[in-house]
Structure 1
Amino acid sequence: MSKSRLILLFFLMMPVLTLPAQETWKITSLNWQPYSGAELANQGHSIEKLKQILQQAGIMLEVEFYPWNRAKLLAQKNKEYVGAFPVWPEDIFDKALISLAVDWSEIAVLKRAGTRISFNSVDELFRKYSVGVVSTYIYPKVVMEAMKKYPHHSDGSSNEMTLLKKLETGRDEVAITDPKVMLYLATEQGIDNIEYVKKIMDKELVVAFRDDEENRKRLQVLNNLLRQQKN
């Protein structure tokens, strides 16, 4: 082979030799439609949003879905996963590193159609009514304090579907969750007697990373990408 052909071959091979392998982040998640879900288009709009943000840095996202407590445990203990998403900042595993907001959720009060609910604070809501919550969630402080103060009026459900069924049948007078999630499930189940009452707060949806050296770097990468989204 001539010297000129060897030189040409060397330069043709350089991009192959120098391009780094595309990084892939694997996370755990839960079926929390419409934000995330194994059967949803693009695995839910929050998952889709995170994928699009990471793609700007050439990062692929793989998502595995589990019941929520297991999803958090795997993200915390299993190094196969970098973290969990979507997560309220309060609802994380021990020593988690939390990102800036990737998306936004809402926490609100819902009731059955035809019932009258009147309250001026979360404390008053729990004092007057039977309140359904999802027992595997860690709610914001104002809700958790009311649950502790009025345990006889706090009714925990293992998941969103059970919470919906209890509200539909009147076992709970009201429920506290993300209204998009409950109303999505109600539509899927053909349940038409659930009504939105009042917003408690908007709440960030973040990525919760396990705390290790590599994930600290990943947290910085993601936060930089999220800051760029705002500019």
Structure 2
Amino acid sequence: MDDYLSIAIPKGTLYKDTVRVLREAGLNVDELETDSRKLFFVNEEDRVKYIICRPTDIPTFVEYGAADLGFVGKDTIVEQNKDVYELLDLKYGACRFVVAVPEKTARDGQWEQMTHARVATKFPRVAQNYFAAEGKQMEIIKLHGNIELAPLVGLSEMIVDIVSTGRTLRENNLVAVAEIFKSTARLIANRVSHRLKNNRINPLIGQLKEVVGKLND
């Protein structure tokens, strides 16, 4: 099966849009649109293998060659800093990294003077790099969920997190005071696969570019 192209598909919020663009690009994704709990599909007609996995695992699958290509958010790419090629901005799954603080801290402008505060986040690399560039030596506290809780219970003075609508921040009386960068879904490739399977990968990139262009007209 060396001539097969293996593609890692993210579970969760990016799944439907990823399957959609693959379908629009001409691939048979019928099995991906069923309610099956299978995590591995092979389409003999297209000579494509689909691997369904957690978004945070996709850069690892791609870096080690378990997948030739992967669909994953820019946030995950930056945070994990894996040795992969970033090939294409797919434009969907838009969100942004922000620094958020309690409403009172935002009103008083106190956060701007904080240079040694505690910052809770699921993205320590992103947070560390941002504050270092700002000349601030923050204490980064890594959490795996419920980031918004940290300032409410005194664990941290601020958070770094991904937001789309900002609703969760508002419901927890937090305010975004700085934007770090915007994130969308990206197509990434294993470096060796990109060289050895360019006859399979390059046409797919071209098809996906067309799809993305049409969907964003």
Classify the TM-score, shorter chain: 0.5 to 0.7
8 Å CA contact retained: 1:112, 1:170:
no
Q: Counterparts in 2 of 1:105-116, with a 5 A limit?
A: 105-112=95-102, 115-116=104-105
In 2, are the aligned partners of 1:76 and 1:83 still within 8 Å (CA)? no
- Residues 66, 98 of structure 1: CA spacing in aligned structure 2 closer, same or farther, 3 A cutoff? same
The match for 2:115 among 127, 130, 134 is 127
**Distance verdict in 2 for CA 1:26–1:168, change over 3 Å:** farther
Q: Secondary structure at the match of 1:220?
A: helix
**Contact 1:87–1:208 (8 Å) recurs in 2:** no
Q: Give the match's secondary structure for 1:111.
A: strand
CA distance in 1, matches of 2:55, 2:207: 28
Tell me the CA shift for residue 219 of structure 1: 2.8
Residue 147 of structure 2 aligns to a residue whose secondary structure is helix
Aligned length: 183
Pairing 1:6-155 to 2, within 5 Å after superposition: 26-29=7-10, 38=11, 43-44=12-13, 46-59=14-27, 60=29, 62=50, 64-66=52-54, 68=56, 70-80=57-67, 82-88=69-75, 90-91=78-79, 92-103=81-92, 104-112=94-102, 115-117=104-106, 118-119=108-109, 124=112, 127=115, 129-135=117-123, 137-138=125-126, 142-143=130-131, 145-146=133-134, 149-151=135-137, 153-155=138-140
Cα RMSD between the aligned structures?
3.7
Q: TM-score, normalised by structure 2?
A: 0.63
Q: Counterpart of 1:19?
A: none
Alignment partners' CA distance in 2, 1:140 and 1:105:
19
1:173 deviates by: 1.0
Aligned residue for 2:155, secondary structure, equals coil
Matched, 1:157 2:154: no
Show CA shifts across 1:47-72 (max 9, x none): 3222222211232365633372x432
2:188 corresponds in structure 1 to 208
Give TM-score, length-normalised by structure 1: 0.60
Share of identical aligned residues, percent?
8
